């Protein structure tokens, strides 16, 4: 089968890629993205933020201190932060304020998972570690 996330051919087990789309994914994507994302969305990780990147990769970022400083947030979205009007209980969604002006790439992961029409990196931050 072809993994719907990394597009690689794989002979191994296939997994349900939900919530990153409804198709199959490989074991590698399942353990690196799908499972961590499900755990994050269940509210298990209150001490780290999720970053959805435009290259379709997913990062989990911890603040250097107990909460994120402004410059750490800006580093993740590659510029000035803007709070995106999407309600995820207990979380704040951040995008690059100038993403459209800077012609940043469309964020397909954010679109597939949350139905967001966003460009550039998207950061989902638990309220408890948001300054």
Sites of contact with Zn ion (CB under 5 A): 3, 5-6, 25-26, 29
Residue closer to Zn ion, measured from CB, 29 or 113: 29
CB of 20: closest distance to Zn ion in angstroms? 10
CB of 37: closest distance to Zn ion in angstroms? 14
CB of 16: closest distance to Zn ion in angstroms? 13
CB of 3: closest distance to Zn ion in angstroms? 3
Burial of 94 (0-12, 13-18, 19+ CB in 10 A): buried
How far, in Å, CA of 1 to CA of 23, rounded?
Answer: 11
Residue closer to Zn ion, measured from CB, 23 or 48: 23
Terminal-to-terminal C-alpha distance of the chain: 44
Residue closer to Zn ion, measured from CB, 31 or 64: 31
Residue closer to Zn ion, measured from CB, 52 or 94: 52
> Could you tell me which of 108, 80, 109, 112 has the C-alpha nearest to residue 94?
80
Phi, psi of 15 (to 5 degrees): -130, 155
């Amino acid at each position: 089968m072809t993994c719907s996330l990394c597009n690689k051919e794989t002979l191994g087990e296939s997994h349900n890629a939900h919530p990153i789309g409804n198709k199959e994914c490989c074991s590698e994507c399942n353990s690196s993205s799908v499972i961590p994302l499900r755990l994050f969305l269940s509210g298990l990780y209150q001490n780290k933020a999720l970053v959805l990147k435009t290259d379709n990769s997913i990062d989990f970022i911890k603040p250097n201190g107990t909460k994120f400083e402004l410059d750490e947030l800006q580093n993740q979205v590659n510029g000035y932060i803007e709070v995106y009007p999407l309600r995820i209980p207990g979380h704040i969604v951040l995008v690059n304020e100038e993403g459209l002006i800077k012609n940043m790439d469309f964020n397909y992961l954010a679109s597939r998972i949350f139905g967001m029409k966003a460009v550039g990196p998207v950061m989902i931050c638990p309220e408890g570690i948001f300054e």
